[in-house]
Structure 1
Amino acid sequence: MPRRQANQPVVKEMPQPELFLNRELAALEFNFRVLAQARDTSIPLLERLRFLSIVANNLDEFFEVRVAMLKQRHQFGSAQPGPDGMTSAELLPRIRERVLELVRAQYSTWQDELGPALAAEDIHFLTRKQWTPHQRRWLQGYFENEVLPVLSPLGLDPAHPFPRILNKTLNIAVVLQGRDAFGHEGHMALVRAPRSLPRIIRIPEEVSGKGDNYVFLAELLQSFVDMMFPGFKVAGSYQFRVTRNSELIVEEEEVENLALALSEELLGRGYARPVRLEIGSDCPQSIVSMLISNFELEETDVYRCDGPVNIIRAGLVYDELERPALKFPRFVPTLPTALGNGRKMFETLSQRDILLHHPYESFGAVVDLLREAVQDTDVLAIKQTLYRAGKDTPLVDLLVEAARNGKDVTVVIELRARFDEEANIRLATRLQEAGVQVVYGVVGFKTHAKMMLIVRRESGHLRRYVHLSTGNYHQANSRLYTDIGLMTSHPEIGEDIHKVFQQLSGLGPMISLKRLLHSPFTLYKSVLEKIEREAEHARQGRPARIVAKLNALNESHVVEALYAAAQAGVEIDLIVRGACALRPGLPGISERIRVRSIVGRFLEHSRVYWFANDDAPEIYCASADWMERNLMRRIEIGFPILDPALAARVYDETLANYLADNTQAWLLDSDGHYTRATPGADAPHSAQQTLLERLCGATSSN
């Protein structure tokens, strides 16, 4: 690596806006990379269908949160340009242009690629034109018996105004001709599909014969819409779907009970301000104009869909179909060797740290640790954070059992975890009823840290056992997301976690931690200091390198610090799954920075920071990305991997392994475009497949 002399100038004047990619546009680009998975014929077919559904779900959330926020700021004239210098007035048209490209590609993938490929495997999503007479008779009976009784079609006139339409629900706009019983001429009508109705209907095998045959609910409603309006001629029916602002706004300082305030706010979420209208591609402009008027939208908020407006529902068949040849090969997560010797976990952890790399290694080890704590009479207290827990996690049952066993149990539940607010309120209520002390975090700061503390009496003294993780205590996600977990009894880490829990529950003063990086207090400052330390090493001609694995990177001062370090001579490799605001490869600024994104079978979720530190490397795993919200507005933890063997393993598995990936990696250029890496003359290397083979013994590739 070229080395600079200490007296060389290292920082050039940097025009700020030109140095940053826009975070919203960068977030959209991630979905193109996911869509590429849906189009990749080397991936099992039902997995491709699942990737298509993921794109649709991501796009929903993008509009519900990011676009909604931009539109709201633009409406009130309060939007300040981001680091890239782009105002909301400039950004919204750019977003629309890119979303239109994504939607076209999405439906082209569905119509031209996945549909025919599924049909070739005898999996059919049938349209009306494809129904056999036998299928039509069965579907008509299903409609009459299962669907029609729960529908409430609504004709539109002055006495029947446009109804409230719930967020992301399926609806049919109907044009009627003829007179009703009261002498009124034909009119418009709406059919709202209740959420109780299945969005995908499977036709029984005895009706369809060979294969798996499905019908979208929208197709069923449009096919038998005339049965809902007897006496009228249906001149047209058109499916549509509206997306609304889903951000909950609660002035926390002004409420006495956050759970109650959020519960009340949730009641109105489904009817908040609309931000997007999806409509069938065949819908006439007159109907579109009517819907735009009623939703108080603009033409630029309309997205025409060449297929079902709720294409996300196609992914529902993934879990239903037992077609192993069309899915990724099954694998069995393993346990670290140190946990397979029959010894108690406390005995093992008293002697060594244990690293867990999910999903390759089982989340069951975390459950076993808590279960052992619940049953151990020497355990006095258990403290845990819960951000997203999932519906069927055994952890909650164990926390309830621990409280009933007389242990002191404290759980910090983040009620404001986006889209999990309602579930977390129910969870908090259940735990409180069992005698658990429940804390809702800190006003103004989301508690995003993932940590569990167990206090145990041993030989007359108290000892702390800790589990820390980059991911949530969510057992289902632990099979789908890559994350790093650490179990340790290190005294200083235990003391640090004890102080953090004290601060969360007691709202105590500033605390001083020995080992952990703690947002919003020391994490941001420490990251900047460690980047500058690498820059200084480079200026002194010493080894200097930074490697970081993140979900997103957009904090402007961190980006600027990385640019300055690169100019000082630091080699920097960033593995950023989603939105990255940094521009790599800018002449004289970021030529030493390389950015890649890995998109594969598992969602990359672990955050790992590695600093060369003059041949005395430091490595941290964290719950925090290098984003403004994580570094400044959340409670986050970065924890060091102190055991040299485990530190080497984390570096090898999560960093070096991913930098070598040449099959699932996408390389970012300075213009914000991603190019898929190819093996070229090298042997193909998939980071995820390598870990499946190494840790789980799996031998099959994608």
Structure 2
Amino acid sequence: MSDHDSSDDLLRDPSLYFNRELSQLDFNFRVLAQAQDGSVPLLERLRYLCISCTNLDEFFEIRAGTLQHAQELGLAAGPDGLVPSATLARIHERAAELVAAQYDCWNTVLRPALGDVGVRVLHRDAWSDAQTDWLRKHFLDDILPVLSPLGLDPAHPFPKILNKSLNIVVVLEGRDAFGRAGHLAIVRAPRSLPRIIQLPEAVSGGPSDFVFLSSVLSAFVDELFPGMLVKGAYQFRVTRNSELLVDEEEVENLALALKDELLGRGYMRAVRLEIAEQCPPDIVQLLLANFELDDSAVYRINGPVNLNRAIQVYDLVKRPDLKFPPFTPRILPGVESMFETIASHDVVLHHPFDSFTPVLELLRQASEDPNVLAIKQTLYRAGKDSQIVEHLIQAARNGKDVTVVVELRARFDEEANLGLADRLQAAGVQVVYGVVGYKTHAKMLLIVRREGKGLCRYVHLGTGNYHSGTARTYTDIGLLTADADIGHDVHLIFQQISGLSPSLELRRMLQSPFTLHSGMLMRIDREARNAQAGLPARIIAKMNALNEPQVIRALYRASQAGVRIDLIVRGACSLRPGVPGVSDNIHVRSVVGRFLEHSRVYWFQNGGDPELLCGSADWLERNLLRRVETGFVIVDPRVARRIYSEVLENYLEDTCNAWELAPDGHYARVQPADGAAPYSAQLKLLSKLCG
């Protein structure tokens, strides 16, 4: 069943594809819905609101920025038929709706509700005399000394404005000490200043009163311009394209090239301007002209322009009653002897319900075990103060041969990974930067251990990063195994990444950009053939995003052949389900709950002999064709049954946090059947696995 069959022409109809960028943007409405949900603890609702704001920032920095570049290059339309300029226009329309919903949620729902329970984020007009006096003194003592206001005149042109920095544009009247006529000035808030200020309880009468820095700057900005009249002060923030473009084939040293590129990231092309709602039109036009933006890029804000900074309130307020109940991840039995445990049977870890401790312990024990000869690992995101990194360094100091593939181009972690690479190299670890043109996104750990007269390989493969923090907040699957075939495959993949070996013949694994794409297409087509032959045929797949056109066409063909297909896609989904004669057998749902859904699991009924794979890749074009990724077959039937039950079957039953994608592109909350209680897949796993 070739993707080039003439019958596929109908399946290339742009109406059968949702725009990936708009679909990704719509995911944030589902995140915002958590902030609007009265059944969610109040501070957690604030956290969801802030996440939706931060996600929108990143969307503009990367997705909109990339589209802007594509528009300038005159790139053609995608599978959905939209050219970059049309996509950008729709993005600005939809983003404006999202921003309006975010600030409505903040102003009319969350801020008042927080105030009702003693967590007050105070507007200027609500400050008491005592609070005003304290804030003025705080401004004079701790804020004013680090401010450098800049008056705009021929000698002082418009300053460079850093990406996402907080700024105040001030309208002035009068003359300064040098006789210069005042007109406009820019006050930039240094990054060293906290964006949320907590008022002392002695001043405020309560332990949880807060003020945004932007409010304080606006209130006392006249202190910066003595003898002049402040006619208005308006906060603004500009978002810039943050996608780094390094021509890897033209640079001799990728690390040095990235360091140079990072220096300029904060001042790249502007893509969005957020400005106080009451700012006069002439000031807005001045800012737009400076940032080379048109009116469509303006977002007038009814509140703080950096609303995502309210997340500090979540961290500062010690109110367990306003947060999700704490939980204790389950710790694997036998963790004190990881090699014996893994040698006896494959182990699956379902994070965050299962603790990340076994992975840390495996690496710690390997670093100290005299029989361990070599350790190889990929690091995409490791986080600050990573125990993983400490164990790798200790292993190198203990004489192990340690090789680490550090992905320097992990978005927004580039600087951290450059520092990480330097630190590992200084400890004697061999650091590899991956393959030119292909991000190394695979999650692999390989330990080579002498046992008797031979060598054994112990492997960890995962769907998520080696990051202890995200292991408590993301759902992911990890496999610990001593399977010889998987060990063989992982060894070859590491050899290929660090050396110059040809394409590989793998036994149990699939690999991008070579066999993962074709392997998935083969399995989807196999289900279609089985359905046509009257054999059991079904596909259940869970991933973060789906946009690869060949995979979508293969799913359409399978649906036409009678295969029932259930897709659990957290974010962007370009496939249009429920189209008569094309995708009527395809159902798409998105689950948004306490934990970020991140596991990638693919199950094929295979004529009654089911096959289950996990991996590091979504069904995205970039993951399947332009990255180094892995997919691994779960061989142990016991492990496969557990993953199927917990990750697929369980999430298809969710009627609490699940949304269903309709043929018109809208998502609707899945409702429990009449008389049934809402069912939460995540809560089920918390009650089943955690203490």
TM-score (norm 2): 0.98
Q: CA deviation at 1:399?
A: 0.5
1:523-672 matched pairs, under 5 angstroms: 523-672=516-665
SS at match of 2:646: helix
Q: CA deviation at 1:74?
A: 1.3
Q: Distance in 1 between matches of 2:23 and 2:278?
A: 31
Q: CA deviation at 1:347?
A: 0.9
2:213 alignment partner in structure 1: 217
2:457 alignment partner in structure 1: 464
Structure 2's unaligned 5+ residue stretches are 1-5
Task: Summarize deviations over 1:363-404 as a string: whole Å, max 9, x none.
Answer: 111000000101100000000000000002101011001000
2:691 maps to 1:694: no
2:425 alignment partner in structure 1: 432
1:22 alignment partner in structure 2: 19
SS at match of 2:608: coil
Q: CA deviation at 1:75?
A: 2.4
Alignment CA distance shift 1:173-1:643 (3 Å): same
CA contact (8 A) 2:119 2:208 kept: yes
Q: Distance in 1 between matches of 2:11 and 2:180?
A: 69
Q: Distance in 2 between matches of 1:621 and 1:316?
A: 36
SS at match of 2:422: helix
Name the amino acid aligned to 1:541. G
Q: Distance in 1 between matches of 2:565 and 2:12?
A: 21
Count, aligned residues: 685
CA contact (8 A) 1:153 1:189 kept: yes
1:266-665 matched pairs, under 5 angstroms: 266-337=262-333, 339=334, 342=336, 344-665=337-658
SS at match of 2:349: strand
Q: Distance in 1 between matches of 2:584 and 2:371?
A: 56
SS at match of 2:609: coil
Name the amino acid aligned to 1:693. S
Q: CA deviation at 1:187?
A: 1.0
Q: Distance in 2 between matches of 1:27 and 1:456?
A: 44
Q: Distance in 1 between matches of 2:12 and 2:329?
A: 49
Q: Distance in 2 between matches of 1:385 and 1:558?
A: 27
SS at match of 1:538: helix
CA contact (8 A) 1:280 1:307 kept: yes
1:6 alignment partner in structure 2: none
Alignment CA distance shift 1:12-1:568 (3 Å): farther
Q: CA deviation at 1:684?
A: 1.8
Q: CA deviation at 1:12?
A: 8.9
2:56 alignment partner in structure 1: 59
Name the amino acid aligned to 2:33. A
1:196 alignment partner in structure 2: 192
Indicate which of 239, 243, 255 corresponds to 2:235: 239
SS at match of 1:362: coil
Q: Distance in 1 between matches of 2:171 and 2:384?
A: 42
Name the amino acid aligned to 2:172. L
2:3 alignment partner in structure 1: none
Alignment CA distance shift 1:122-1:396 (3 Å): same
Q: CA deviation at 1:100?
A: 0.7
Q: CA deviation at 1:11?
A: 7.7
CA contact (8 A) 1:598 1:604 kept: yes
Q: CA deviation at 1:211?
A: 4.0
Q: Distance in 2 between matches of 1:439 and 1:146?
A: 45
Q: Distance in 2 between matches of 1:181 and 1:312?
A: 39
CA contact (8 A) 2:338 2:358 kept: no
2:67 maps to 1:48: no
CA contact (8 A) 2:8 2:553 kept: no
Q: Distance in 2 between matches of 1:173 and 1:11?
A: 56
2:64 maps to 1:70: no
CA contact (8 A) 2:31 2:48 kept: yes
CA contact (8 A) 1:167 1:242 kept: yes
2:167 maps to 1:174: no
1:4 alignment partner in structure 2: none
CA contact (8 A) 1:554 1:582 kept: yes
CA contact (8 A) 1:10 1:568 kept: no
Q: CA deviation at 1:672?
A: 0.7
CA contact (8 A) 1:11 1:568 kept: no
1:113 alignment partner in structure 2: 109
Name the amino acid aligned to 1:94. R
SS at match of 2:99: helix
Q: CA deviation at 1:94?
A: 1.0
CA contact (8 A) 1:34 1:599 kept: yes
Name the amino acid aligned to 1:176. L
Alignment CA distance shift 1:12-1:246 (3 Å): closer
Q: CA deviation at 1:15?
A: 5.0
Q: Distance in 1 between matches of 2:89 and 2:424?
A: 46
SS at match of 2:370: coil
Q: Distance in 2 between matches of 1:398 and 1:124?
A: 44
SS at match of 1:159: coil
1:37 alignment partner in structure 2: 34
SS at match of 2:511: strand
Indicate which of 92, 96, 99 corresponds to 1:96: 92
2:660 maps to 1:679: no
Q: CA deviation at 1:514?
A: 0.3
Name the amino acid aligned to 1:311. L
Indicate which of 51, 65, 84 corresponds to 2:80: 84
Identity of aligned residues (%): 61
Q: CA deviation at 1:302?
A: 0.6
CA contact (8 A) 2:200 2:207 kept: no
Q: Distance in 1 between matches of 2:10 and 2:39?
A: 47
Q: Distance in 2 between matches of 1:404 and 1:611?
A: 45
Name the amino acid aligned to 1:686. S
SS at match of 1:526: helix
2:127 alignment partner in structure 1: 131
SS at match of 2:545: coil
Structure 1: 4+ residue segments shifted above 3 A = 9-15
Task: Summarize deviations over 1:167-188 as a string: whole Å, max 9, x none.
Answer: 0000000000111222222210
Which stretch has the larger CA shift, 295-304 or 232-241?
295-304
CA contact (8 A) 2:11 2:556 kept: no
Which stretch has the larger CA shift, 179-188 or 346-355?
179-188
Cα RMSD of the aligned pairs, angstroms, is: 1.1
Task: Summarize deviations over 1:18-42 as a string: whole Å, max 9, x none.
Answer: 1100001100110000000000010
Indicate which of 217, 224, 233 corresponds to 1:228: 224
Q: Distance in 1 between matches of 2:645 and 2:519?
A: 23
Q: CA deviation at 1:322?
A: 1.0
Name the amino acid aligned to 2:356. F
SS at match of 2:607: coil
CA contact (8 A) 1:355 1:486 kept: yes
Task: Summarize deviations over 1:288-331 as a string: whole Å, max 9, x none.
Answer: 01101111111111101110000000011212211000000000
